[in-house]
Each structure stands twice: as C-alpha cells, then as structure tokens.
Structure 1
Amino acid sequence: MRRGRPDGAGARRAAYRRGRRGEWLALAALMLKGYRPLALRFAAAGGEIDLIVRRGATVAFVEVKARPTLAEARDAIGAIKRRRFSRAARAWLGRHPDLAGLTLRADAVFLAGRAWPVHVADAFPIEER
C-alpha cells in the first residue's frame, strides 16, 4: 500500500461514514419540513431503504444520494436500484399493513458539496412487481 492512499477496507469505511452522515443530514432536513422517522436503513428482499418517514397521511420511502454534484446524485438512482428499492418498500409494507391505506411514494434526497440537501418528492414510482 502506498502511503496516504486508503486500502480497500479503509475506503469502504470512509464511504460508509459519508453515507451515514448524508442520511442524518437528509433526516434532519426532512424533520425540519415536518416529517417524522419511522425507520432508518431498512433492508429486506435484496434491497435497502435509507429512510422511511411520515408526514400526515403520507409515508415516504427515501433514497439518499451524496455525490460531488447534484446531477451525479440524480443519475445515481438507476433501474436496478429502483427495482431493489421497490422490493424493500413492499416488504416493509407487508410488515406494516396498518399503513397501506396511506399515500405512499418514493422520495429522494440529494446531497452535493456543502449545499443544503435537495428533497425531491415522488422522485420515481414504487414498482408493483
């Protein structure tokens, strides 16, 4: 290993810490908008949801993406990610049938540089199957 360059494990730890920090920043921004957390980092059915929040009659499944630019953050949610995200959302709803009658949507929070998090409501559809 060359001096000053992280090895594979070190790079993964750094990415994990950045991801956790981004999720907490996103949650703080959403809470300031009146959302309350229902779950953090929910994983099931081969997918993961960073945040699940509720405001009134709306439950939002939130994907958080932090990249150097907002454009890169928006592009980071591809078809495979949406499919896995949707599977996890359906699994979560299966465990919480009392919330199924509420408005459900997939939101995204994008973080870039030192800018305030950008919340996009209904960023992509939750796939049925």
Structure 2
Amino acid sequence: MRTALERRRATFLRGHYAEWIALLLLLSKGYRPLARRYAAAGGEIDLIVTRGDTIVFVEVKARGSMEDALSAITATKRRRFSRAARAWLSRHPRAQGRTWRADAVFIAPRRLPRHVMSAFELEVF
C-alpha cells in the first residue's frame, strides 16, 4: 500500500508529464509557449501559449479515463483559473489588445490527447 506522500508524488509526476504532452501537442499545432505553471491570485494556469494574435490560457487534465478528464474542470477551478489569467494580463500590458481564450487539453491512458478550444468562458473582467 502506498503512503499519502507517495500518492502525492505520483500525482505530481503524472501532472508534470501530462503538461509536457500537452505542450508538445500545442507546439505541433503552431502555438508558442509564453509560460508554464503560472500561479497568482490563488489560481494556477498550466500553460500560456500564443498563436497569431491570440493568447491561450490552457488547463491540462490527466485522469484515468477520458470521461473523468473531461468532467474535471469544476466551477471553482474556472474561477481560480480566471483570477490567475487576470493577474497575468495585468502584468503584461501588451496583451491587452489581443484575443484571449481558455483552452483545455485532456489526457488519459491509451488515448490521444484531446485539445478543446474555448473549453470554458474566461472571466477576465
């Protein structure tokens, strides 16, 4: 039986791995990274990428099944994510004239990663 510390470490490593997979997927689609694991205002954004005139804030969810991954972004998570996005935008004034979007990348074993554009509404102002 695994200890709580071992489970936390395994979860952390699975999340780190999932973020790398998501980043590789987005790079293959022409996105350029701006930040990884950005934390501010009580929220965290896994990836911030850009393509063209759009800045994309990306939530990565890795679960045991794709169905679990797809349902893992709760209202509380969306609020915290949006607070962190507002904080990032306030620190990057050149981003003000660009388009912003909240995407998600879902990862599950033995399935291709799934990138969902505009996965949820970004509450920026």
Q: TM-score, normalised to structure 2's length?
A: 0.97
Higher Cα radius of gyration? 1
1:108 offset after TM fit, Å? 0.1
1:70 offset after TM fit, Å? 1.5
Q: Distance in 2 between matches of 1:123 and 1:98?
A: 24
Q: Distance in 1 between matches of 2:12 and 2:73?
A: 18
Q: Are 2:11 and 1:19 equivalent residues in the alignment?
A: no
Q: Distance in 2 between matches of 1:32 and 1:115?
A: 17
Match of 1:64 in 2: 60
* Gap regions ≥5 residues in structure 1: none
* Gap regions ≥5 residues in structure 2: none
1:116 offset after TM fit, Å? 1.7
Q: Deviations for 1:73-94, whole angstroms, at most 9, x for unmatched residues?
A: 1110000000000000000001
- DSSP 3-state at the match of 2:79: helix
Superposition map of 1:32-51 within 5 A: 32-51=28-47
Deviates more, 1:40-49 or 1:107-116: 107-116
Match of 1:31 in 2: 27
Q: Distance in 2 between matches of 1:85 and 1:72?
A: 19
Match of 2:75 in 1: 79
1:69 offset after TM fit, Å? 1.6
Q: Deviations for 1:107-127, whole angstroms, at most 9, x for unmatched residues?
A: 000001122210000000111
- DSSP 3-state at the match of 2:103: strand
Over the matched positions of the two proteins, sequence identity in percent amounts to 60
Q: Deviations for 1:2-58, whole angstroms, at most 9, x for unmatched residues?
A: xxx210111101100000000000000000000010000000000000000000111
CA RMSD of aligned residues (A): 0.8
Q: For 1:92, give the aligned amino acid.
A: W
